[in-house]
Amino acid sequence: MRNLFSWFAALVGLSAIAFAMSSYHLELYQKLLLVVILAIGFNFLFGICGQIAFSHVAFYGIGAYAVVILTFKLGWPLAAGIAGGIAISAALALLVAIPTTRLEGFYLALATLAFAQLFLVVVGAGGELTGEDEGISGYALPDFFGIPLTGAAYTPVIVFVLLVTLALILRLDRSYFGRSCRAIRDNPDAAQAMGVDVARTKIVVFVLTSTLAAVAGMSYAFVNNFISPPIFDLERIFELLFMIIIGGTGRHAGAIIGAVLLFSVQFAVEPFVGKFHTLIYGCVVLLVILFAPKGLMGVWDAMIAGRRNRDVGA
Amino acid sequence: MAEIGELLVSAVAAGSIYGLMALAYLLIIRPTGVINFALGEWAMLGAFAAVALGSDLLIPALHLPHVFSFVLVVVVIGLLAAMTEILTVRPLIEKGAPILSPVLALLGVLVISLQVGTLAGGTEALPTPPPFGFRRVEMGFLAGTPQAFYIIAVTCVVFAFAWFFFERTVWGKRFEAVAINRRAAALMGINLRAVGLLAFVGAGIVCGIVGVLAAGASGAFYQMGLPLAIQGFTALVIGGVGRVEGALLGGIILGVIEALAARYLPIPSSLVLGVPLILLILFLLVRPTGLLRSKEDMV
Amino acid sequence: MTVEPISGTTRRSFVAASIVTAMLAVGGTATAQDTIKIGVITDETGRAAFYAKPVTQGVELAAKEINAAGGVLGKKIELVIEDDSAKPDVSATKARKLVDAGVVAIISNSSSPATQQAQSVSLATKTPHITPANSGETLATKLDNPYFFQLGPLASTQIKTLMSYTRSKKFKRVAVVGDNSGLSKIIAGVFEKSLTANNIDVVVSQIIPIGSRTAVPQMQKVRAENPEAIFQAGIVGPQMAQFFQAYHQLGMKQPILASFNLSIPAYLKVAKDLMEGVAFIDAYDPAKERTKQFIELYKKEYGSVPFSLPGYGYDGLYFVVDALKRAGSVDKEKLRAAMASTKGWSNVMGARGATVNLSEKDRRGFDPEGAVVRLIQDNNHGPAVHSGTK
């Protein structure tokens, strides 16, 4: 009960802050929460399971487009639209995962990168259905018992998705499945020898994390009630990757901190560095990889270990 | 059939550029196993350097004849590549970092190169005068621009040199040895550092060449890096990582299929974009090692 | 299924995250009441930078001139410029930032999709919002946003003007060529629809993909259909160069009629000597008196000759300022109402005699008769040879 209580407290707390913010900061906050969701899932796929897939943001887009097209272009009820979106995302993820499990490292990266580009090409050629490059707008969620789910009132939805994603990932991580994933990341042959079904595990991880990204995408669709292809650009996956690296690859806290840091700092330093902020990011990532490869969490761990050693020594 | 002649020349010229990019990837991947995604941006920087040096744009005071600007660009990008290897890749490899680390570090280099290029070169497409001008050149049934033939010629020379390097020189043998077995090569006394550095410098030189050729064709453009990077590794996957000839073959095949699809495929123009992507995915799934097998596979 | 307790590190990271977000939330903005803040959303390094930057330069020039003459309503104008990298979601976020910073109006200079998404914010916050140069056909109609006004020449106006220019030629079979950028696809789509509606058959329509190294296959396809004219809707530099190279190399002779994108002189560099005789749409007639004054001002300030893009930006700010004068206050509702009732306004842009007219029903201000057709002569933009759609 206490465990459930702390999750509920997080839901309330993270949602309540939203009501105290100006509309600009609220917008940033909601987008930040969504980026954190993506980071947590991507960290599991890349940091914990060692799968270099560049399709995470594409699935974010697939989820967004699926729910909007099913619900507002084809007229399905919202619940069916969401369920349909999840089904489509999972199916596509399966379609991508099954043939690519045989691919090692960079080939998987290339295949998923090609898939991500293909997604943009398909959306760009989809005519009225996908809105092509102009995107789809002018839709909105139905009111929730009379409360319009816009602005601060929409935050609980995003927070809910965030907490569910986090809970699921944490649960997976601490199970045999999580250990299998780490084994696959560190030494696939040894894992296979130890009885881990490497191919099946990889497929499950890919489908699961991609579907979680799709659900996050569905949440995104209703933040501004507008979706268009440039939002799901290739740049975004690089940004996500950098967040994981700087935060600490393979660490949940690292993913969260990396996402929060890179997202917020971008807006905070912009008045000072203007159009140079992406350049600075690139440099920071490079420095982190060279000098602090375990990221911020690695630095934090080292600090704690140092303190502990000092305490013991005295 | 005049059409086929025109189509072939432009397809092979495009394929030559793809092949050169694939060669650049291959030069680094073979001995180090590292895939350098920043190569596309290096070509972009080379293109802007070609504009700065070879035309009166960007740096009006510098307006060198083509030969000089060509050589200078190649030297500049080669130096950039050397710096990158020494500062970012070598420390990671020697530290024993997982192979992924240099790749990620090079992604950082990609972002840095892209931003520097955009801020320095600007957001307009800038040309450098094509060394042989512009007109319709006909050679038998083939027809194309002088620049297209020039690109094909330069590519042939580069690949001839690359083939000669790998097949006939000691350094080429060293590359192969390191590619086959790094530890054994080190034990045999091969200087891994030198090979690594040479690999990067070679890739940088090839990227510089791509930049000069592209700037003379359709200009230097801040967004030209990513498409080149994708076209490059698509060509690499098609042709096979194992052999230099594979890079050229992959490039030409990609260029020709793209051209044939755009000209003859009865699908809407906006979907033709998907053809190279589908080709890449197909090869990755069906034959990831590419069309040409490497020497060790054939033994 | 039991719910896992939140681990120590995860709890710590939540705390850290909350602190950071609290810091963001607290950051306020001091409003200086002695200036009138006008927000500008532009693109500095993204895919729309090559047309957004010059437009923003025009806005800055206008601000300088207006402030030198005393500003408006007794106060100086303060431009608050934000960069959205042509990313629609960032554009919306920046729009919010501008509103929170206290701007009385937003000027959107980035891509059409970015402007579209920024509208969700101008609608929600009831902030007057204009685009001086975007030509997206549905920008002012897709979202029923009474706070948004579009001053750029619509693609439909452009094609109608081109059609009237070539009416005497009685074209029956034409081609449309563009690239796969969002704007180009929108313009090409509108061109095709309009041509077809006027009983002109679009026998072939081709897209040159961004990142292409050649346009020969696409142009061969066009040549094979033997159209009487080619309508050019492209915008991306290298692809435009490839288009012209292929056109000449393949020995094609059809007249080329281009959208307002060719009013950007940059192409004259990258497709040098290849664009002779090409007709293009512009909203900028350098022979117009007011435009001549603008040219002098720009030359004095920047040392080079201006063209359409800075003109759009310049007019955009002047439009807002004119509406402010008519509104008599910085109240956003009054400003919006003044904008919506603009009649007969004209400045640098538009053909001679063209005026900007807006109404509650139609918030697209560019005069349907206000586009001109210019020819490229001697690697330069020649004078206007035609205007309007009659």
**Facing residue for A281 by CB, picked from B92, B111, B284:** B111
Residues of A in contact with B288 (CB under 8 A): 103, 107
Give which of A174, A223, A190, A227 is closest to A64, Cα–Cα. A227
Cβ–Cβ gap A275/C45 under 8 Å: yes
Q: Is C107 buried (19+), middle (13-18) or exposed (0-12) by CB count in 10 A? A: buried
The closest alpha carbon to A229, from A126, A113, A138, belongs to A126
The whole-number average pLDDT for the span B196-208 is: 97
Confidence bin at A169 (pLDDT 50/70/90)? very high
Give the H/E segment covering residue B9.
Answer: helix B2-32
Assign A160 a pLDDT band (cuts: 50, 70, 90). very high
**pLDDT tens string B131-162:** 998 989 999 899 999 999 999 999 999 999 99
Question: B60 exposed, middle or buried (CB, 10 Å; 0-12, 13-18, 19+)?
Answer: exposed
Tell how strand A136-137 and strand A226-227 pair up: antiparallel
| pLDDT at residue number C46 | 84
Residue A215 has pLDDT above 90, yes or no: yes
Q: Contact, B45 vs B117, CB < 8 A? A: yes
Smallest CA–CA distance, residue A87 to chain B, in Å, is 23
The end-to-end CA distance of chain C, in Å, is 73
B261 vs A4, higher pLDDT:
B261
Residue C358 tokens read as 């807006």
Task: Name every chain A residue with its beta carbon within 8 A of the beta carbon of C114.
Answer: 230
CB B5 within 8 A of CB B142: yes
Instruction: Name the residue facing B91 among A107, A113, A290 (closest C-beta).
Output: A290
Length of chain A: 314
Shortest distance between the Cα of B193 and any Cα of chain C, in A, equals 35
pLDDT at A104: 72
Please indicate whether, in this complex, the C-beta atoms of C6 and A225 are within 8 angstroms of each other: no
Check C3 against A7: CB less than 8 A apart: yes
**Looking at the predicted structure, is the pLDDT value of residue B73 above 50?**
yes
- pLDDT for res B299: 45
Contact C329, C165 (CB under 8 A): no
SS3 content of chain B, % helix, strand, coil (to 5): 75, 5, 25
Return the pLDDT at A1. Answer: 47
Where residue C131 falls (left for φ over 0; alpha for ψ -120 to 50; beta otherwise) is beta
Q: Give the DSSP letter string of C293-314.
A: HHHHHHHHHHSS---HHHHHHH
Is there a contact between B123 and C50 if contact means CB atoms under 8 Å apart?
yes
Q: Please give the Cα distance from C38 to C103 (Å, whole number).
A: 5
Rounded to the nearest angstrom, the minimum Cα separation between A179 and chain B is 20
Residue whose C-alpha is closest to residue B200's, from B18, B43, B41, B31: B31
User: Of A31, A229, A297, which is closest to C93 when you measure between CB atoms?
Assistant: A31
Flag if A132 and C86 touch (Cβ within 8 Å). no
- What mean pLDDT, rounded, does chain B reach? 92
What contacts 24+ positions apart, CB below 8 Å, involve A243-247? A243/A35, A243/A39, A244/A39, A244/A42, A244/A43, A244/A46, A244/A47, A244/A295, A245/A285, A245/A288, A245/A289, A245/A295, A245/B104, A246/A284, A246/A285, A246/A288, A246/A295, A246/A296, A247/A39, A247/A43, A247/A295, A247/A296, A247/A297
Q: Do A24 and C96 touch (CB under 8 A)?
A: yes
**Gyration radius of chain C's alpha carbons:** 23
Of B6, B227, B228, the CB nearest to C220: B6
Q: In sequence order, which residues have a C-beta less than 8 Å from that of residue A122 and are 6 or more positions away? A: A130, B274
Residue in B4, B6, B7, B9 to test binding to C, most C beta-carbons within 10 Å:
B6
CA distance A23 to chain C (A): 6
The pLDDT confidence band at residue A3, using thresholds 50, 70 and 90, is confident
Contacts of A114 in chain B (CB under 8 A): 230, 277, 280-281, 284
Asked if B269 is an interface residue toward chain C (Cβ–Cβ < 8 A), one would say yes
* Residues making up chain C, counted from first to last: 390
pLDDT tens, residue order, chain C (390 aa): 444 555 555 665 665 555 555 555 444 444 456 899 999 999 988 889 989 999 999 999 999 999 999 999 999 999 999 999 898 889 998 999 999 999 999 999 999 989 999 998 999 899 999 999 999 888 999 888 999 999 999 999 999 999 999 999 999 999 999 999 888 999 999 999 999 999 999 999 999 999 999 999 999 999 999 999 999 999 999 999 999 999 999 999 999 999 999 999 989 998 999 999 999 999 999 999 999 999 999 999 999 999 999 999 999 999 999 999 999 999 999 999 999 999 999 999 999 999 999 999 999 999 999 999 999 999 999 999 999 998
Q: What residue of C is the nearest CA neighbor of A162?
A: C14
Q: Are B102 and B88 in contact (CB under 8 A)?
A: yes
CA-to-CA distance for B208 and B219, rounded, in angstroms? 14
Nearest chain C CA: its distance from A193 CA (Å)? 30
Is the CB of residue C189 less than 8 Å away from at least one CB of chain B? no
Residue located via tokens 């043998």:
B173
Residues C140 and C134: their CA atoms lie apart, in Å, by 10
Residue C377 dihedral angles phi and psi, to the nearest 5°: -135, 130
Q: Which two tokens stand for residue B167?
A: 């097949």
Specify whether the CB–CB gap between A256 and A247 falls below 8 A.
yes
State the pLDDT at residue C31. Answer: 47
User: From the candidates A228, A235, A244, which should be mutated to test the interface with C, based on the most C CB atoms within 10 A?
Assistant: A228
Cβ–Cβ below 8 Å for C241 and B219: yes
Please tell me the distance in Å from C80's CA to the nearest CA on chain A.
Answer: 11
Answer yes or no: do A133 and C182 touch at CB < 8 A: yes
A110 vs B284: CB contact, 8 Å cut-off?
yes
Res C28: pLDDT: 43
Task: Convert the pLDDT of each residue in B173-188 to its tens digit.
Answer: 888 888 888 888 888 8
Chain B neighbours, 3+ Cβ pairs < 8 A? A, C
Q: Return the closest-CA partner of residue A223 out of A169, A130, A159.
A: A159
Nearest of A13, A64, A83, A113 to residue A214 by alpha carbon: A64
Instruction: Give B61: exposed, middle or buried? Use CB within 10 Å, 0-12, 13-18, 19+.
Output: exposed
Does residue A176 carry a pLDDT above 50? yes
Q: Do C239 and B218 touch (CB under 8 A)?
A: yes
CA of residue B152 relative to chain centroid, distance: 13
- Taking an 8 Å cut-off on Cβ atoms, the answer to whether C270 and B219 are in contact is yes
Taking every pair of Cα atoms in chain A, the longest distance, rounded to a whole number of angstroms, is 72
d(CA B7, nearest CA chain C) in Å: 6
Structure tokens at C228: 């009487």
Question: Is there a contact between C36 and C104 (Cβ–Cβ < 8 Å)?
Answer: yes
C 233-252: CB under 8 A from B? 236-242, 245-246, 248-251
User: Does residue B223 carry a pLDDT above 80?
Assistant: yes
- Mutation target to probe the B interface, by most B beta carbons within 10 A, among C216, C225, C239, C269 is C216
What average pLDDT score do residues A249-267 get?
A: 91
Q: Please, are residues C148 and C139 in contact by the beta-carbon 8 Å criterion?
A: yes
Are A111 and B284 inside 8 Å of each other by CB? yes
Instruction: Determine contact, residues C44/C83, Cβ cutoff 8 Å.
Output: yes
Most confident of A139-143, B224-228, C12-16: B224-228
Question: A24 pLDDT band (50/70/90 cuts)?
Answer: confident
Neighbour-count burial of A307, counting CB atoms closer than 10 A to its CB (0-12 exposed, 13-18 middle, 19+ buried): exposed
Concatenating the DSSP letter of every residue in B216-272 gives HHT-B-TT-HHHHHHHHHHHHHHH-SS-HHHHHHHHHHHHHHHHHHHHH--S-GGGT
- Please determine, for the modelled complex, whether the ipTM score is greater than 0.90: yes
How far are the Cα atoms of A107, A204, B23 from residue A104, in angstroms, in the given order? 6, 17, 21
Chain C CA closest to residue A28: C93
Q: What is the pLDDT of residue C4?
A: 52
Distance of alpha carbon C78 from alpha carbon C66, whole angstroms: 11
Residue C58 near residue C309 (C-beta atoms within 8 A): yes
- How far apart are alpha carbons A14 and C173 in whole angstroms? 61
The chain-wide mean pLDDT, for chain A, equals 90
Interface test with C, best of B155, B218, B254, B258 (most C CBs within 10 A): B218
A15: number of CA atoms within 13 Å, CB side?
19
Which one of C180, C221, C266 has the shortest CB-CB distance to B263? C221
Q: Nearest by CB to A282, from B101, B111, B284: name it.
A: B111
Specify the pLDDT at position A63: 97
Q: What is the DSSP code string of B81-112?
A: HHHHIIIIIHHHHHHT--THHHHHHHHHHHHH
CA B226 to chain centre: 12
Q: How many residues would you count in chain B?
A: 299
**CA C92 and chain centroid, separation:** 17
d(CA B76, CA B71): 9
Query: A216-248 pLDDT, tens per residue?
Result: 999 999 988 889 898 898 889 999 999 999 999
Over chain A, what HEC string results?
A: CHHHHHHHHHHHHHHHHHHCCCHHHHHHHHHHHHHHHHHHHHHHHHHHCCCCCCCHHHHHHHHHHHHHHHHHHCCCCHHHHHHHHHHHHHHHHHHHHHHHCCCCHHHHHHHHHHHHHHHHHHHHCCHHHHCHHHCEECCCCCCECCECCCHHHHHHHHHHHHHHHHHHHHHHHCCHHHHHHHHHHHCHHHHHHCCCCHHHHHHHHHHHHHHHHHHHHHHHHCCCCEECHHHHCHHHHHHHHHHHHHHCCCCHHHHHHHHHHHHHHHHHHHHHHHHHHHHHHHHHHHHHHHHCCCHHHHHHHHHHHHHHHHHHHC
Q: What percent of chain B has pLDDT over 70?
A: 98
